[in-house]
Every structure is written in structure tokens, then in C-alpha cells.
Amino acid sequence: MASEMDELFNNRLINVFKTVTSPAPEVGLTPRQAVWKKNKATLWYYPAQQKKYDTPLYFIYSLINQPFILDLGPGYSLIQFFNEKGYDIYLLDFGIPTYADKGLTMADYILRYIKKGVQRALVHSGASHISVIGFCMGGTFASIYAAIADEPIQNLVLAVAPIDFSHFPIFDEWQNSLRNGEIDFDAILDTVGVVPPDLMRIGLRVVASPVYVSPYLSLLRKGNDEEYALKWKRFNFWADSHIPFSGAALKQMIQTLGIENGLINETLLIDGEPVKLSNINANLLAVGSNVDRLVPKEQVQPVMDLVSSKDKTFYALKGGHATLASNREVQEFLNSWLSVRSNPIRLG
């Protein structure tokens, strides 16, 4: 009995060690083609396996991390899931910024990348409307874009996207000090130009979980499950794949969103144009989670009262920040919501 337990224990440890030290896994395996490129950004096109909807999906991912979380691997890919359901997908990948991108502002991201990407996706697909789906900070940018867009947005999905920055449960003292002008980080952001990825990782880790051992314990618990280990490896690879952040954009976000709460107070200007969420008329689906430490539900939900959309739904996610990307139940809900709002093609 004791020797069996020793063996089981040792096997698990060996498996965990193997998983942790194995080379970076292959991610982003769904077939795709680049339809537009600018600077470091690429607009990827993932054709539907059998097209069933006229309205394509346009994914905007966060600027903090890499978008391959949406296509982690066969069976764990939101993109593959929607392709199989019959949607054409466009993914705007902002790429990895360098020092030359230190001056990129929110207006640049929204007008020179998101808006242009949508225009290109519309031309490429020949569609009359588009569904814009933003994840995390990409969702915040999607809501800003949707508020000033001329393009025909049929559906807007904001997945764990912070909108109301008045709710800051963990680091409220930092926010108060910033609001009162007692501290500011403009000088350091101007000097470094772009915030290095390691600093981004540390910053987000501190907000979400400074000590990060539970994923390793989960891996140990399921140490003999090869499929779980592969999924874990892929997810962990993504969780550590932070990218540099433009100093100008971060400075602007701290001021206009963090301090002024510009989306709620309607003080945000993009290229001189006021951003009013009440201009949004597209069908809206907002997704928030009760257990998300990075973007609490209270930061997401207020969007429901601010838009003019007649058709709006709030979905409470049972899981953390990145659940949406790989949880089949949530994906099925997203599909059921989108499928009746994406101009189904009448076959035969």
C-alpha cells in the first residue's frame, strides 16, 4: 500500500515537472489568413467551415496579453468553435509594440486600428453588418469605438470589459491618491516609453493573485491526466505571454478612465469627439463574472443602463477572467445569443 502510494505520488511529481519544463506548446492552430496589416497589427481571417451566417464576427483582444487565448488548441478554441458553428471570424491582433510605439494613444488604437480593421473586414467579407466582440480591455475599446462608429455594427459583445472604474475594490487607496493628485506616474511612463512585459505581468499578478500556486496544485491534483496537463500548459503559456504596453496609451487610460471615469461621466474624447455610450444602438451582450479579481462584475454591469440598445442582455459568468475562451457552456450561450442576431443564411 505504502509503495503504491509512493509510486503514484512520484509519478505525479514527474508528470508535473515534465509539464512545467516542457517546451512552449503549439497554439493558434486554426487555419487563418492575414487580410490586412499595419505597423505591428494584423487582421486575421478565419473562414467558417460551412458558412451559415452573413454577419461576420470581429474579435478585439486586450492590449495586455496575446490573443492566442482565443485559439489555444483543438477543442479549447473559441475561434474554432465559432468557425464550426458557421461564422466567418476576423481577429484584430495588435501585435507586440516596441519603443517606436510609445506614442500610440487610445485614439490611435480605436481610429487607426479598430475602425480601419472593421472597414477592411466589411470590405473583405462583403457583409452589410458586423458583430464586434471585445475581450477585457479590448472590450472597453470596443465600447468606445461602438459609441463613435459610422460602420454598421449589428451586435456588440463586451466580455469582462471594464466600463465603470469607480468600483476599485482592491487597490482603492491607489485610485484615491491618483484622483487627489497626490501621486502620478506620468514621468516614469514618459521616460520608459513602453511598459516592459515583465512589469505588466507583475502589475497584473499583484492585482489578481500575487502568490500564484493554486494552478500548480491543480496540476498536481490531476497529474496523471495528460489532456488536462496539455490544456494547463497552453493556458499557463498564455498567462505568461504579456506584451509591452504603450506608455502614452496607459497614461491616457489612467487619466481618462481610471481617474475621470470618462465612460460613465461622458468626459472621454477620442480625437476631439465626445464618447457617449448612449450612442450605442447595436444589440448588446455584456459578460461579467462574480469571481473575476481582475475585472469585477461591478465594473462591467453599468454599461447596461448607459446604452440605447433595445436588445440588451447581461450574462453572469461562472468562472474567472479567461473562462470565456475555453468553457464550452459559455461558448454555447454566446452562440445561442449570436445565432439569432447574425442574419442566418437560408440554405437550399
Partner 1 sequence: MDITQQFFNILTRSGFQVEQMINRSIQNHLNKPAFVNFASQRANGMAKGMSSLQNTMEMLSVPFNFPTKNDLANTTNMVVQSEEKIDNLEYQMISLINAIQDLQTNILSANQTQRDNR
Binding site for partner 1 (CB under 8 A): 5, 8-9, 12, 36, 38-39, 98-100, 102-103, 112, 116, 119-120, 123, 170-174, 177, 182-185, 187-188, 190-193, 206, 209-214, 217-218, 220-221, 223
Residue 192 C-beta: closest distance to partner 1, Å: 7
Which residue lies nearer to partner 1 by CB, 208 or 304?
A: 208
Which residue lies nearer to partner 1 by CB, 173 or 273?
A: 173
Which residue lies nearer to partner 1 by CB, 12 or 51?
A: 12
Residue 36 C-beta: closest distance to partner 1, Å: 8
Which residue lies nearer to partner 1 by CB, 266 or 298?
A: 298
Which residue lies nearer to partner 1 by CB, 190 or 227?
A: 190
Which residue lies nearer to partner 1 by CB, 74 or 103?
A: 103
Which residue lies nearer to partner 1 by CB, 112 or 341?
A: 112
Residue 311 C-beta: closest distance to partner 1, Å: 30
Residue 13 C-beta: closest distance to partner 1, Å: 11
- Three-state helix/strand/coil letters over the chain: CHHHHHHHHHHHHHHHHHHHHCCCCCCCCCCCEEEEEECCEEEEEECCCCCCECCCEEEECCCCECHHHHECCCCCEHHHHHHHHCCCEEEEECCCCCHHHCCCCHHHHHHHHHHHHHHHHHHHHCCCCEEEEEECHHHHHHHHHHHHCCCCEEEEEEECCCCCCCCCCCCHHHHHHHHCCCCCCHHHHHHHCEECHHHHHHHHHHHHCCCCCHHHHHHHHCCCCHHHHHHHHHHHHHHCCECCEEHHHHHHHHHHHHHCCHHHHCCCEECCEECCHHHCCCEEEEEEECCCCCCEHHHHCCHHHHCCCCCEEEEEECCCCCHHHHCHHHHHHHHHHHHCCCCECCCC
Residue 34 C-beta: closest distance to partner 1, Å: 14
Residue 246 C-beta: closest distance to partner 1, Å: 12
Residue 184 C-beta: closest distance to partner 1, Å: 7
